[in-house]
Amino acid sequence: MANPVILSVDDDPAVSRAVARDLRRRYGDRYRVVRASSGPEALEALREVKLRGEQAALLLADYRMPEMTGIEFLEAAMDLFPAARRVLLTAYADTGAAIDAINLVDLDHYLLKPWHPPEEKLYPVVDALLEAWSATPDAGATEIRVVGHRWSAESFAVRDFLARNLVPYRWLLVDDPEAGRLLAAAGVTANDVPLVVTADGKALVAPTEAELAALVGLTVAPAADFYDLVVVGGGPAGLGAAVYGASEGLRTVLVERLATGGQAGQSSRIENYLGFPDGVSGAQLTDRARRQALKFGAELLSTREVVGLEEAGSARLLRFSDGQTLAAHAVVLATGVSYRMLDAPGLADFAGRGVFYGSAASEAPSCVGAEVYIVGGANSAGQAAMYFCRYAQRVHLLIRGADLTASMSRYLIDQLDRVDQVTVHPYTEVTAGAGDEHLQRLTLRDTRTGEQREVDASWLFVFIGAEPRTGWLDGTLVRDDRGFVVTGPDLVASGRRPPGWSLPRDPYHLESSVPGVFAAGDVRAESVKRVASAVGEGAMAVSLVHRYLEAQ
C-alpha cells in the first residue's frame, strides 16, 4: 500500500517549497508529501488520492490565498478525508481568524509563519498529529458501513455507539442503491436493519453494543481476575485516574459501560480547559487521554456494566451485569452523571427518533437547513448550540429562566450573542411532543403567562440536570439525597465515622464509606462540575489509593 499523504497548500512559492522541504526531510520515508499552490489545486490532488484508495494523514493550508482561503479548503477537504488532521498556516495578525476556524472546521492546530527552527516549532506539532491520526486511521482504510432507516432508534444507537468510540463509518439509508446491494449480499431486507458491514465483508444484523465493540476491536474482557486498581467509568475523572494509576505502577483496568469520554467526550468544543488556549473538542481530548492511558499500560474495557460492589476481605469485588466478577485492592468510582429525561407527554415515544439526550453529534449533518430545538441553559447546551448552528437553519435554545447568566460561562454566552442563527427563548418549557414515525411537533409553554404554542420540529436535544449513575450502590455506600457519593470529611458527623467503617482512621478526602473505594468527578457529592476538576480528582484519587495500599 502506498504511503499516506501529507498535503500542504500555499500560494507563495517560497513558503510552499519551504514547507515541503521541511516535511520531506523528517517524514519522507514514511509519508508522501504533496504540495499545491491553491485551494482548488489541492482539492483536485485530494480527489486523486481518494480515487486511488490512498489515505491522507495531514493537511496544512495557508490562511490567506486567492480563490479559496485555507479555512474554505480545509472545510471542503473534510468531506473527502474527515479523519485527516488539519493545520492552518497563518501570520500573527491572523491568529484571531485561526481561533475562529477551530469551531468551523474542527482545526487541530495553527502554526505561525515563520516556523523556524522546525525542530522546535514544526516537528513536535506534526509528530503529535500524525501519532493521533495513526491511532484513528482514515475511514477509507477500514470502512464500516451502517445501513438503516432515517428515523430508527436502533439505527441511531448503532451510529451513536460508533461515533462516541471514535470509529469511522459510512451511513447509508435503506433506499440508497449501495444499501440495497449490501442488504441483498447479507441476505436480509430493509425490515431487518440496522445492518453493519465491515471492510472485509462481515455482516451483523441489529448488533448489540458488545457485538459492535468486538467487531471494531475494542476490548471487552479483562486480561486478569485481580488488579491493583479498578476504575469504573471512562469520563475525564476515570481517564485521569487510569492515566495516573498506570503511570505510577499500579496494575489498572478501566471499565466503561458505553464509550470513553462521558458527557465531556460529546462536547463539540471545550474552551476553558487549562493548556488548550485554542479550545479542544471532547472527542480530541478523549482520544488523547485514552491513548495516554493505553501507553502507560492501563486496560480499557468497553460495554461492561457494573451492577454490584462488595467487600471481600482486603479485596473489593465488582460484579458485572452478565454475572462475571472482577477483584482489586482498590476502586475509583467515576461513573459521572446522565441527563435527566424530559417529562412531557409524547416525548418518550420519540427517543432516538427526533428526541436525543446529549449532543448526538452523529445527527448534526442530517440537520442541514432544519430548525433545531435545544433544552437547557448550562455549558453543554451552549456548546451544542454553537455546534449545530453550523448545519441548521436556526437553533432555538429553550431555557426556563430569564437569561443564561446563572448557569453558563460568560465566554460561551458571548459566542452565542455573536451568532445570528441562535435564538434564546427565556421562560420557555416543552410540554408535549407529537408526530407519526418521528418527532414532528412540539408544544412550548411560556412559564410566566401559561400561554402555549405549537411549532414544527423534528430535532430536539435535551441537556437538563444531572443524575448520578449510582442506583447499583444502594445499601453499599453512603449517598446524599440526590444519589451522589458522599466522601471524606462529609462522612464524619459529630466525630462519628460512618456505620460499618472498619479502620482506626477517618476516611481520606475522596474515600467513600467503604475503605479503599474512592469517588472522583461528577459522581461525588459537592464536586465541581467541570472537566479540569474531574481530571484533578481522578489524579488525586490515585495518590490516596497509594496511601491506602501502603497502610494495608
Mean pLDDT by 10 residues, the chain (552 residues): 90 92 94 95 89 85 89 86 88 66 71 85 92 67 81 92 87 90 88 88 89 89 96 96 97 94 76 78 85 95 95 95 96 92 92 87 84 94 91 95 92 93 96 95 96 96 88 94 95 90 95 97 92 95 97 84
Domain 226-338+467-551 has CATH 3.40.50.720: no
CA distances (Å), 294 to each of 98, 138, 208, 280, in order? 32, 21, 25, 21
**H or E element that contains 457:** none
Q: Which residue type sits at 429? A: E
Cis, peptide link before residue 504, omega less than 30° from 0:
no
| Pairing of β 337-338 and β 467-468 | antiparallel
Please report the DSSP string for 471-496 in residue order. GGGTTTS-B-TTSPBP-GGGG-BTTB
- The domain ranges of the chain are 5-135, 144-209, 226-338+467-551, 347-464
Q: How many CB atoms lie within 10 A of CB 532?
A: 15
Q: How many CB atoms lie within 10 A of CB 204?
A: 17
**H or E element that contains 543:** helix 531-550
Q: Which residues contact 247 (CB under 8 A, 6 or more apart)?
A: 296
Phi and psi at residue 204, to the nearest 5°:
-125, 130
The topology (CATH level 3) of 347-464 is FAD/NAD(P)-binding domain (3.50.50)
| Cα gap 313→318, rounded to integer Å | 13
> What pLDDT does 355 receive?
95
pTM, 2 dp: 0.77
Which residue has cell 428515523? 151
441 three-class SS:
strand
Buried b (16+ CB within 10 A) or exposed e, 392-427: beebbbbbeeeebeeebbeebbebbeeeebbebebe
Fold match, 5-135 / 144-209: no
Architecture of domain 144-209: 3-Layer(aba) Sandwich (3.40)
49, 105, 42: which is closest to 78 by C-alpha? 105
> What pLDDT does 328 receive?
98
Cβ–Cβ under 8 Å, residues 529 and 521: no
> What pLDDT does 216 receive?
85
543, 549, 473: which is closest to 512 by C-alpha? 473
> What pLDDT does 80 receive?
81
Domain 5-135 has CATH 3.40.50.2300: yes
Q: Which residue type sits at 407? A: S
CA distances (Å), 272 to each of 147, 155, 277, in order? 38, 34, 7
388 three-class SS:
helix
| Cα gap 481→483, rounded to integer Å | 6
| Cα gap 82→136, rounded to integer Å | 11
Q: Which three cell numbers stand for residue 485?
A: 457519593
